[in-house]
């Protein structure tokens, strides 16, 4: 039996449909990292698992029990098998660390205070905070508070841990100490779902990675599959942090200065030096005009789309052009124009295809 089963999960806020029918199965011992852009539904999905967000439709089963069909106390009973670590710690400021850790197990699990304190000290020792057992949360750093929050979850011996961006509220100097604790837990084969923006951490810890986009799981796979060989366009863009400038040309007498100004602004925004931006402008101008002349002879109406992209991950810049009209490969002509010559000198990779009646040109610089 799977630990978590999600079928057809939907959630909207007003007219905004955040989750559009998510399906997921999580097995015991899996460590799942959930990544994606801001507002893609990662945290909403995680919070829906324990009904902190009430789904509009769908089923959620936790260890065989359907939490979406449970009522009242049944919901609380199922929730006990899940431990949630939030962005903002949520420690009780009027209680010291020991009281924060012992409150739930003594009241809910009916554990004796002595046994609870013994367990708390064991956990605090594991995260390097045994000396802070009787400190007040307000005197602790953010990283220390988050480590305490993790211990508080572990006090309830959950079957699965849910981490909702556990480092997003921390100063960069404190992120490492919290990630170190989660790495330690991962080595114990604890089941975990982790919403995170820490890509290197996700690669290291996760057994499976989910990339969220378009209201659900857009692509999933092992860390190697997602981070080294993503297959779908939005995943590739997210992993490589690709930025785009696109320009569509529908008439032969298009606004060249507008296109060139857009390329210049793109280069300045994403760190291309002046020489790179200038050469990029020259290449695009010469290539566009060559395609207009050869692909659309004696036509004023055209359908050409130029896209310039820059990958922050490796510094690669690409030019992609798609246009209709006559099939024409600019890289296999007896007499090359200046732009094509420059491109061949600059390019690491040139590619031409004619598919579905369109010329597809890709140049990697």
Average pLDDT over residues 128-139: 94
How do residues 253-293 score in pLDDT, each as one tens digit?
Answer: 999 999 999 999 888 888 888 888 888 888 888 889 989 99
Distance from C-alpha of 129 to C-alpha of 144, rounded to nearest angstrom: 8
Q: Are 138 and 92 in contact (CB under 8 A)?
A: no
Please give the pLDDT value at position 45. Answer: 96
Please give the pLDDT value at position 73. Answer: 77
Place of tokens 């921390």: 170
Distance from C-alpha of 224 to C-alpha of 221, rounded to nearest angstrom: 8
Range of weakest confidence among 74-83, 340-349, 356-365 = 340-349
The pTM assigned to this predicted structure is: 0.76
Range of weakest confidence among 38-42, 131-135, 342-346 = 342-346
In degrees and rounded to multiples of 5, residue 217 shows phi and psi of: -80, 105
Nearest alpha-carbon partner for 2 in 152, 159, 122, 115: 159
Nearest alpha-carbon partner for 146 in 128, 122, 121, 119: 128
DSSP string, 287-331: HHHHHHHHHSTT-SEEEEEEEEEEETTT--EEEEEEE-SS---TT
How do residues 82-130 score in pLDDT, each as one tens digit?
Answer: 999 988 888 999 999 999 999 999 999 999 999 999 999 999 999 999 9
From edge to edge, which strands make up the β-sheet containing 317-323?
242-251, 301-311, 317-323, 358-364, 349-355
Place of tokens 């199965």: 25
Question: Over the Cα atoms of the chain, what is R_g?
Answer: 27
Distance from C-alpha of 136 to C-alpha of 294, rounded to nearest angstrom: 75
Is the predicted pLDDT of residue 38 greater than 70, yes or no? Answer: yes
User: Domains along the chain?
Assistant: 4-239 (3.40.50.300), 241-364 (3.30.565.10)
How do residues 331-344 score in pLDDT, each as one tens digit?
Answer: 887 666 665 676 67
| Segment holding 70, helix H or strand E | none
How do residues 301-322 score in pLDDT, each as one tens digit?
Answer: 999 999 998 887 778 888 999 9
Percentage, residues of the chain above pLDDT 70: 97
């Amino acid at each position: 039996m799977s630990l978590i089963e999600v079928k057809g999960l939907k959630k909207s806020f007003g007219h905004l449909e955040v989750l559009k029918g998510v399906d997921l199965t999580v097995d015991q011992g899996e460590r799942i990292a959930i990544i994606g852009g801001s507002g893609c539904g990662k945290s909403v999905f995680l919070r829906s698992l324990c009904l902190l967000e009430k789904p509009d439709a769908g089923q959620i089963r936790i260890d065989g029990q359907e939490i979406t069909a449970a009522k009242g106390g049944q919901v609380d009973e199922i929730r006990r098998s899940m431990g949630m670590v939030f962005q903002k710690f949520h420690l009780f400021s009027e209680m010291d660390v020991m009281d924060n850790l012992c409150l739930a197990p003594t009241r809910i699990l009916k554990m004796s205070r002595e046994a609870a304190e013994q367990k708390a000290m064991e956990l605090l020792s594991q995260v390097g905070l045994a000396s802070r057992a009787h400190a007040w949360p307000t005197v602790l750093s953010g990283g220390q508070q988050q480590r305490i929050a993790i211990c508080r979850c572990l006090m309830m011996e959950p079957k699965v841990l849910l981490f909702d961006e556990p480092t997003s509220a921390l100063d960069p100097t404190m992120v490492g100490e919290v990630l170190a604790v989660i790495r330690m837990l991962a080595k114990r084969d604890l089941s975990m779902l982790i919403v995170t923006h820490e890509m290197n951490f996700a690669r290291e810890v996760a057994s499976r990675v989910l990339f969220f986009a378009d209201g659900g799981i857009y692509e999933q796979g092992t860390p190697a599959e997602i981070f080294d060989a993503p297959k779908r366009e939005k995943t590739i863009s997210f992993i490589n942090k690709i930025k785009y400038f696109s320009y569509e040309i529908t008439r032969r007498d298009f606004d060249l200065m507008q296109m060139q100004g857009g390329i210049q602004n793109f280069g300045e925004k994403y760190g291309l030096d002046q020489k790179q931006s200038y050469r990029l402008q020259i290449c695009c101008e010469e290539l566009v005009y060559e395609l207009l002349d050869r692909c659309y002879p004696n036509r004023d109406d055209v359908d050409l789309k130029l896209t310039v992209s820059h990958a922050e991950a490796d510094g690669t810049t690409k030019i992609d052009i798609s246009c209709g009209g006559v099939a024409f490969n600019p890289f296999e002509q007896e007499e090359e124009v200046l732009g094509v010559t420059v491109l061949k000198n600059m390019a690491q990779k040139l590619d031409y295809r004619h598919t579905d009646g369109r010329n597809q040109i890709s140049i990697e610089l």
